[in-house]
Amino acid sequence: MDALDYTRQLVAFESTSVLSNLEVSGYVEDTLKGLGFVTERLEYDDRQGVRKCSIISRLGEGTGGMAYFAHTDVVPADPWFSEEHGPFEPTIVGDRLYGRGSCDMKGSLACALAAAKQYSAADLKHPVYITCTADEEVGYWGAKDVVERSKLYREMVAGEAHGIIGEPTMLEVVYAHKGTYGFKATSHGKAAHSSTREGINANLKMIPFLAEMKKIHDETEADPAWQNDEFDPPTITWNIGINDHTSAINITPPQSVCTVYFRVMPGMDADVLVERARKAAEDCGIEFEVAATARPVYVDPKSQFVQELLQLAGKEQASTVSYGTDGAMFQDFRHLAVFGPGSIAKAHTHDEWISLEQLEAGTEAYSRLIRHWCC
């Protein structure tokens, strides 16, 4: 099977993050075993009690080598652009393969499998690792579990394997991405008809908190201390969301919720902003909960690792991206970059696709990395 065949097989599994990914993980595990990999299977129940699974594997013996990382979960596919074929019915139209996850990032995983298929353990002086995590799209929970429990992960780190996060970059070399932080503030009131004195409007406590969130937003947009010109956009994009959940205009809102999500860059202390927001919530008498934290990824673009990767990729210069990856959890790696087929512009879209050319190029690129670092 080549990358196109593998992509079709992988996309056909509906592995939206709210569902279990056991079926697609079973397929990945069986495929890797068929290619001669030793596998490690880690299962856990997510916060909703749904069973999830990550697969970690190794082909060959020794230390070092290459460690490739992918995730098997996908975002929801509602709406989907076509009535002729569904999001989990991989379909070729022209030079594109359509389907949820084709770009983000089952196509990339397919390239890694097709590249690894070209080698046997006897060909390798250093190992090839392939790791497929769960729940990347909803908080990197699978990656966190791999870091905590996987023996093969500890082996990769100890051996200083060359880490490749296969998220879509159009096979451009990415040496850094932003981290992600999020929190939720909740104000409680009492529902009643707004013409009476019986209600307590939850928004009244929330309004001064929102004013402070707006102040932080404006400061981070203007203060160079919260900016980094290596990234586009160069700011932390302090994103404020609000919702009082009322269904009619004549009800005093019993609850008001503010969410803030921002993307911190290397060298920044995100906790300063989180604690400032926490203090504002306490002063306003509202609940505060940190929902997500993930550090940025940064490798020196002038390092030997990045320069080698650029040469192998046939590129002149490495770049940064503003989205996040499982790499935020893999901070133990000395050598780590994002490098994968497909365009991030097609990830999470209503008509997600990957070009057949990128599947072929991705396979060739990963094969070169294996040959260089493992043979």
**Do 129 and 68 contact (CB within 8 A), yes or no?**
yes
Q: Which two tokens stand for residue 39?
A: 């596998």
At position 176, the amino acid (one-letter code) is A
- What is the crossing angle of helices 107-116 and 22-34, to 10°? 20
pLDDT of residue 1: 81
Task: Give the CA angle between residues 323, 329, 335 to the nearest 5°.
Answer: 90
Tell me how far apart the alpha carbons of residues 126 and 162 are, in angstroms, rounded to a whole number. Answer: 11
Which domains are assigned to the chain? 3-177+296-374 (3.40.630.10), 180-294 (3.30.70.360)
Nearest to 318 by CA among 328, 329, 330, 309: 309
Three-class DSSP labels, the chain:
CCHHHHHHHHHCCCCECCCCCHHHHHHHHHHHHHCCCEEEEEEEECCCCCEEEEEEEEECCCCCCEEEEEECCECCCCCCCCCCCCCCCCEEECCEEECCCHHHHHHHHHHHHHHHCCCCHHHCCCCEEEEEECCHHHCCHHHHHHHHHCHHHHHHHHCCCEEEECCCCCCCCEEEECCEEEEEEEEECECCECCCCCCECCHHHHHHHHHHHHHHHHHHHHCHHHECCCCCCCECCCEEEEECCCCCCCECCCEEEEEEEECCCCCCCHHHHHHHHHHHHHHHCCEEEEEEEECCEECCCCCHHHHHHHHHHCCCCCEEECCCCHHHCCCCCCCEEECCCCCHHHCCCCCCEEEHHHHHHHHHHHHHHHHHHHC
pTM: 0.94
Give the Cα separation of 309 and 164 in Å (integer). Answer: 10
Nearest alpha-carbon partner for 231 in 261, 260, 259, 267 = 267
Tokens of 20: 């279990």
- Blockwise average pLDDT, block size 10, the chain, 375 residues: 96 98 98 98 97 98 98 97 97 98 98 98 98 96 98 98 98 97 97 96 98 98 97 97 94 97 95 97 97 93 98 97 96 97 97 98 98 98
User: Which residues, 6 or more positions from 224, have their beta carbon under 8 angstroms from its beta carbon?
Assistant: none
Q: Are 127 and 62 in contact (CB under 8 A)?
A: yes
